[in-house]
Amino acid sequence: MAGACAGLLPYIYYPARFVPLLFLFFGISFLLPFRSMSLKRLQAELPWAAAFTGVAALVAAPILLHYLRNPDLFFNERIQTVFVFRKFQGAPLTTLAEVLATNVWDVLTSFSFRLLAGCCSPFEHAVTLNIWEALFFWLGVGIAIRQWNRSPAYRLLLLWVGLLFMPAFLSDARSTMRMGGAVPAVYLLVAVGLWETFLWIESRMAGRVKTWPSIFGTVIGVTVLIQATITYRAVFDRGMAVSPSHYDMIWPAFAHELNERPAEKDTVYLIAHRHDAFDYLYQGATPVVRIFSPVPDLDHQTEALLTEMGTVSTVKVVNWVDWSPTIEWRANFRANFLTILLDKHGTYAGTEYFDDIYVDSYVDVSYDRPWVLFEDLSQPVVYDGGITLEGLALGSSKKRIPIQQGFDTEQHRSLLVGMLWTTASKDVADYSVSLRLYSDDGAMVFQDDHVLRKPMEYPLTTSLWATQPVSTVFELEIPDELAAGEYELRMVVYDLATSTPTVEVGVWEPETTLGRVQIRPSGQ
């Protein structure tokens, strides 16, 4: 069983990178015990270790073969940036040690003592282990340490927990979900604590209470059954009810609704999102196409796709409401760029709403001119702070109905502003942008500020941006009191820490004019 669980670890995104270290250290633990070990005992333990390793290798073989054939997937950029304290690059070693110690303390104290601060998981209403589970867990840890030399199984459990906690220890995004690879070992250590407690009590009660093993086993069995019921209800009742977005339940529901629809003639749905449940459940007759192209390639890839399909008269862009705390790294950024692209080359025909999913429909899609997403900037804007605006994509303003439950159900207008950025080096400051609308008389009538972040990423420009262009998209929510008409869009790029603006080289003014935008009436 332990071998099978270990073999499943490489299939888990972050823990997979620590599995080689787990097997390496486990092997070394046989060669370098803390004290001498007899050859007889070593020979007795090796078959069990070989059985564990063999089962684990058999279970992990498919994914390991996949990684061998595609090593770039194992060492990709996302993985390389996860386990680095990006906010503290260049900081003294003492600062890094202090941050690491804080992370370790936060993770370990989540085992029954308190909730992990900043935890972004479906279980924000509960600590990782309850009191009695944590008691036996820490007891199991202590026993395993004491039995390190005598039991390879205990060595394995300690190494397993220690190494598979590392994604949580080293990450700047605190989340109990990064401990997922350690879960089997955690509960096995709970079992160790229970078992050793049973053996200890049995030795004290020997000859006095003959039914003691039955009593103890019954109590433990009933307790585990009760706890299993509580855990099930916490996950599938409270957890899903409090935070359904963590389970992406909107996508299975969307698939069921589309399945019930009749075939839509000459229509295609474009979805810039991957969800296996939707792919598995969708059986509808209307074509649904996934688009995962990098944003700079989105225009010609989408044009080629629609041209190849031929008779498409209606294109429906599927977008969804992402309630992430900052819009700069919401997962639907690519869908927003699709919306901008279809705004340029099609006619907006309305929006359909499916819970937290909304679908923008476009007709009269034109192929008379090449599709270019970032076409609204005549030339790059080079700033003296080492950052360059390479491209601009402006969408049409639309009337939206927010779908968030409980409040803010009035209609509002929004304008999408897509940008393409590059940096001269990794040493630029962290920047924010201030997007502003000016009327014809030169008065500023609207302002909206955003931190520059790479989509779907936490860090700011200093620690993440490299030589590749980075796309950002901002949604400007236009207030109802702003009259319809044409406005001039300007931007100020400023240092996030000091609020000092960086200026365009050769112009030396903080504000950059990006173009003119048309704002529709609030009732349309």
**What's the pLDDT tens digit per position in 297-316?**
889 999 999 998 888 889 99
User: Which has the higher per-residue pLDDT, 235 or 184?
Assistant: 184
User: Which has the higher per-residue pLDDT, 498 or 523?
Assistant: 498
**Do 64 and 138 share a domain, yes or no?**
yes
Q: How far apart are CA 182 and CA 189, in angstroms?
A: 11
**DSSP one-letter code for 504:** B
Q: How many Cβ atoms from other residues are within 10 Å of residue 296's Cβ?
A: 18
**DSSP one-letter code for 84:** S
Question: Mean pLDDT throughout 330-338?
Answer: 78
Domain presence at residue 337: yes
Q: How far is CA 263 from CA 53, 256, 269, 286, 287, in A?
A: 52, 14, 12, 5, 9
Q: How far apart are CA 377 and CA 388, in angstroms?
A: 12
Q: How many Cβ atoms from other residues are within 10 Å of residue 474's Cβ?
A: 19
* Pair 37, 163: CB distance under 8 Å: no
**Do 229 and 100 share a domain, yes or no?**
yes
* Pair 458, 329: CB distance under 8 Å: yes
User: Which has the higher per-residue pLDDT, 41 or 124?
Assistant: 41
**Do 341 and 406 share a domain, yes or no?**
no
Domain closes at, from 240, 260, 283: 240
Q: How far is CA 67 from CA 10, 59, 147, in A?
A: 10, 14, 36
What percent of the chain lies above the pLDDT cut of 70? 72
Q: Which residues contact 211 (CB under 8 A, 6 or more apart)?
A: none
Token couple for 356: 């937290």
186 has pLDDT over 80: yes
Contacts by residues 81-86 (CB-CB < 8 Å, ≥ 24 positions apart): 81/457, 81/459, 81/463, 81/464, 82/14, 82/167, 82/170, 82/171, 82/173, 83/17, 83/166, 83/167, 83/170, 83/171, 84/170, 84/463, 85/170, 85/172, 86/172, 86/459, 86/463, 86/464
In this structure, of 69-78, 215-224, 249-258, 364-373, the range with the lowest mean pLDDT score is 69-78
pLDDT of residue 469: 80
Domain presence at residue 49: yes
pLDDT mean across residues, the chain: 77
Domain closes at, from 202, 219, 240: 240
pLDDT tens-digit profile of 445-502? 999 998 886 554 444 444 445 557 888 888 888 888 888 889 999 999 998 888 899 9
435 has pLDDT over 90: yes
Domain closes at, from 188, 207, 240: 240
Residue 42 domain boundaries: 2-240
pLDDT of residue 155: 85
**Do 412 and 325 share a domain, yes or no?**
no
* Pair 371, 340: CB distance under 8 Å: no
Q: How many domains does the chain have?
A: 3
pLDDT of residue 398: 65
What pTM was computed for the model? 0.62
**DSSP one-letter code for 419:** E
pLDDT tens-digit profile of 81-95? 555 555 566 667 777
**Do 256 and 223 share a domain, yes or no?**
no
Alpha helices, DSSP H, located in 363-498: 461-464
Q: Residue 114 burial (CB < 10 Å; 0-12/13-18/19+)?
A: exposed
pLDDT of residue 229: 80
pLDDT tens-digit profile of 96-112? 777 778 777 777 776 65
387-394 and 412-423 strand pairing:
antiparallel
pLDDT of residue 208: 64
